[in-house]
Structure 1
Amino acid sequence: MSLPAIESIGFQPSIIPTLPTDGASVVGTGSTRSVSGSGFADLLTDGLDRLEKVQDKADGLAVQAATGDLDDMHDYTIAATEASVTTQLTVAVRNRALEAFNEIMRMPIG
């Protein structure tokens, strides 16, 4: 997915993994990983690590803005917005996963 208007300001949505359309494999950093099993767990862990990095960046810029050490306020605004959107996406994915799990648990055995 490419958004020229967003890319022109230097924003790169690094938290959203790119999944193939056939669902067979995930292209990572030069390697192909399976979507099932530990590969899926790795994707979740990687996504949460990226979320933490985005939030840490926004927190660091917030401290700089509060102390007067930040030259460009728009850097903080962009980082805070990116952290907010990333958190909202993570919560939405978690909610959908919980809904799917609960639906599976309601299925009759037999």
Structure 2
Amino acid sequence: MRNQIIAQSPALQQIHSPEGADQVRKAAGPAQGFEDTLRGLMSSVNETQHRSEAVTDAYQRGEITDVAKVMLARQESGIAFEATLQTRNKLLNAYQEIMRMGV
């Protein structure tokens, strides 16, 4: 299944090829700041949520008949949200631990 997903996405094919991974690293340029990275990840999760909602609405209208595609989009959205929530919890715990440290 993993290979099928990689085969369908040109971007994933580029990343998984040995020379493609080097090109992606070089194209990324200098490292971004924490805020930029976090903002980018949040917008990515938001896009995933909107895409899932759009696919679900299209299924309800009868435009899409592939239930597997709808369920996959909803699962992807749920996993992205759960990962974001867990990241927030870890960051909050780290902040609280730092605040408890003695000076």
| Residue equivalent to 1:40 | 34
CA contact (8 A) 1:64 1:70 kept: yes
Residue 28 (structure 1) shift = 6.3
Question: Which structure's residues are more often helix, by fraction?
Answer: 2
Unaligned segments of structure 1, at least 5 residues: 13-26
Unaligned segments of structure 2, at least 5 residues: 10-23
Could you tell me how far apart the structure 1 residues matched to 2:52 and 2:93 are? 30
Residue 57 (structure 1) shift = 0.5
Aligned pair count?
A: 89
Residue 71 (structure 1) shift = 2.7
Give the TM-score normalised by structure 1: 0.70
CA contact (8 A) 1:65 1:76 kept: yes
| Residue equivalent to 1:23 | none
Alignment of 1:1-110 (within 5 A): 5-9=1-5, 30-34=27-31, 39-109=33-103
Give the TM-score normalised by structure 2: 0.75
Could you tell me how far apart the structure 2 residues matched to 1:81 and 1:64 are? 16
The 10-residue stretch of structure 1 (81-90 or 65-74) with the greater mean CA deviation from structure 2:
65-74
Q: Which runs of 4+ in 1 moved over 3 A?
A: 9-12
Identical residues among aligned pairs (%): 24
Residue 29 (structure 1) shift = 7.9
RMSD, aligned CA: 2.4
Question: Which structure's residues are more often strand, by fraction?
Answer: 1
Could you tell me how far apart the structure 2 residues matched to 1:99 and 1:46 are? 22
